[in-house]
Each structure stands twice: as C-alpha cells, then as structure tokens.
C-alpha cells in the first residue's frame, strides 16, 4: 500500500536501533498503515515470536486479512480491475463497497494504487472520497509483492482496534513500534485525517502516557514523530534522536526534501 507517513525512508535508522536489542519477544505495531517496518523486519528474519499488527482503519486491516487468507483470489480480482481501469471505472468502483472480503480488499488496493497520491481519506459518512490520480501507468497488481505480503502475514494477528486497546497486551521483552499520525509542524500543515475524527493532541498525550506505562512493564518501545517541542517535552527522560528523512513534498516523486524527524526509544 502507498501510505501517508510511510516509513520506507527511515528503515535503516529504525532497524539499526532494533538490532541493538539482540532479540525481542512478540512484535506489536498498533499504527500499522503500510507496515514498512514490519515487512522489512520479516524479510530480514527478525520476527521470531509472532506479531500483532493493528490499525484503527478497518478497511485497511480487512485488506491485509484477505491477502493473508486467499491472495490468489485477491490477485485475480485485481487483474480484473486493472483491465478495466479508467476514469469512469475508478469512480464506479469508489462508489460501491462490496461485501465479500476478497472483493473489499481488491477494491481498496485498486483505489490505493490509482487514487491521487495514494491518499486515504474518508468523508463525514466514512466513505472513501479521494479523486483519481494522474498516473500514466500505475502498478495495480504486483503479484510478487502480494504473494510475499501474504506469506509475511500468514501467522500474524491482524486487529482493527485503536492503539490503547492493542497496547494492553505486550509483556516484558516484547517490542512495540509506534508510528502515530505526526504532531503537525504548524497548524496549516496539519494532515491528520487518516480516519473519521483524526488524531488530536489529546491522543498524542495519551500515547506518551502509554509509552511510559509500557516502559514500566519492561517492554521495549520505539516511536517516531515530528521534530517539535511538544514531542520533545512529552518524551523527556527517554532517548530522543534526530534523524534525517527524505520526504515527498508534492505529488511528483522527484520533489523531495530532507526533513528532520525524531526517534524515541527506551533502549
């Protein structure tokens, strides 16, 4: 999935910190999104004692469930979307949510690959409402990637729950990676509409409290967020590192700039 705030750019920084641990129990990722770090760790053979992957976005979690359960069905439906792709077809698919899990998943992946900037946004009624993007030749059905994802997801737990619910579970020695919607750098740059309701400053504060609570339970915790005074204050007392990430600043993939972000760990 293309996902706003995807962590591909930060992967070497995140993985090198995890490798300092020399091993961990169950892996928890409660703001899963595109799951860049999980898929990387899985590929490196670092996930050895299971994983619990969750996100508040039910359509996203249902998509992963379908890919885990019957990837061939999803691939064949996606091929159908690919053959019919066009403006009228995009808006027709966007308008109707199917009931069957494999059809739901193929629809979400098709819309994700062809919509404007790969954004996920819902209107007030919870309907996906991103317009079609202007890609000449979007990759709609990457069979190899889908089959690899299906293998990676075969033995994990996938839950559509808010972060606090997912974080009651981790025990001493487990690893939690937190990648919440970022604290905005300025009021105007705020993009927090990942789901109906968005992620507020109160949620950020609750998350920081949860971080402290997990730390007290002996869980290894790592968080990424924006380089803002608010984040520095909330995580005082933990290791806070500044790292450079190259981020897309417009719809063109080559318009990127280096921004500094924060990685907080308790290890």
Ligand X SMILES: C[S@@+](CC[C@H](N)C(=O)[O-])C[C@H]1O[C@@H](n2cnc3c(N)ncnc32)[C@H](O)[C@@H]1O
Enumerate binding residues for ligand X (CB under 6 A). 3, 5-7, 30-31, 33-36, 55-57, 162-163, 179-181, 194-195, 199, 203
Helix spans in the chain (H): 11-19, 36-43, 58-69, 71-84, 87-95, 101-114, 143-153, 163-166, 201-216, 229-234
Task: State which residue, 36 or 71, has the beta carbon closest to ligand X.
Answer: 36
Instruction: For residue 134, give the 3-state DSSP assignment.
Output: coil
Q: How far apart are CA 38 and CA 76, in angstroms?
A: 26
**Least distance (Å) between residue 161 CB and ligand X:** 7
**Least distance (Å) between residue 216 CB and ligand X:** 21
Task: State which residue, 89 or 192, has the beta carbon closest to ligand X.
Answer: 192
Question: Residues near 35 by Cβ (< 8 Å), separated by ≥ 6?
Answer: 1, 29, 53, 64
Q: Are strands 175-178 and 239-248 parallel, antiparallel or unpaired?
A: unpaired
**Least distance (Å) between residue 189 CB and ligand X:** 14
Task: State which residue, 90 or 181, has the beta carbon closest to ligand X.
Answer: 181
**Least distance (Å) between residue 195 CB and ligand X:** 5
Let me know: does 185 contact 231? Beta carbons within 8 Å: no
**Least distance (Å) between residue 224 CB and ligand X:** 8
Instruction: For residue 239, give the 3-state DSSP assignment.
Output: strand
Task: State which residue, 28 or 194, has the beta carbon closest to ligand X.
Answer: 194
184 phi/psi in degrees, rounded to 5: -65, 145
Task: State which residue, 157 or 203, has the beta carbon closest to ligand X.
Answer: 203
Task: State which residue, 90 or 194, has the beta carbon closest to ligand X.
Answer: 194
**Least distance (Å) between residue 125 CB and ligand X:** 17
Task: State which residue, 3 or 235, has the beta carbon closest to ligand X.
Answer: 3
Distances (CA, A) of 127 to 18, 27, 93, 209, 253: 37, 31, 12, 32, 27
Burial (CB count <10 Å: 0-12, 13-18, 19+), residue 152: buried
**Least distance (Å) between residue 76 CB and ligand X:** 26
Q: How far apart are CA 195 and CA 79, in angstroms?
A: 28
Question: Residues near 148 by Cβ (< 8 Å), separated by ≥ 6?
Answer: none
């Amino acid at each position: 999935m293309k996902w706003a705030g995807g962590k591909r750019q930060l992967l070497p920084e995140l993985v090198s910190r995890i490798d300092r641990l020399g091993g961990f129990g169950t892996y928890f990722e409660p703001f899963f999104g595109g799951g860049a770090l999980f898929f990387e760790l899985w590929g490196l053979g670092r996930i050895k004692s299971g994983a619990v992957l969750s996100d508040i976005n039910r359509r996203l979690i249902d998509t992963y469930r379908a890919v885990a359960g019957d990837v061939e069905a999803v691939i064949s439906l996606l091929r159908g979307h690919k053959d019919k792709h066009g403006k009228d077809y995009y808006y027709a698919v966007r308008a109707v949510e199917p009931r069957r899990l494999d059809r739901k998943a193929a629809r979400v992946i098709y819309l994700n690959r062809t919509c404007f900037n790969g954004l996920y946004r819902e209107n007030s009624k919870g309907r996906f409402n991103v317009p079609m993007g202007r890609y000449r030749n979007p990759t709609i059905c990457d069979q190899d990637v889908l089959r690899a994802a299906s293998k990676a997801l075969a033995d994990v737990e996938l839950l559509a729950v808010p972060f606090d619910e997912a974080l009651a579970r981790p025990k001493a020695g487990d690893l939690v990676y937190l990648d919440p919607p970022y604290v905005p750098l300025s009021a105007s740059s705020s993009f927090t509409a990942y789901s109906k309701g968005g992620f507020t400053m109160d949620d950020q504060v609750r998350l920081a409290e949860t971080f402290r609570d997990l730390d007290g339970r002996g869980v290894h915790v790592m968080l990424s967020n924006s380089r803002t005074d608010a984040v520095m204050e909330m995580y005082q007392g933990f290791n806070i590192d500044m790292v450079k990430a190259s981020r897309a600043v417009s719809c063109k993939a080559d318009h990127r700039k280096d921004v500094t972000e924060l990685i907080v760990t308790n290890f």
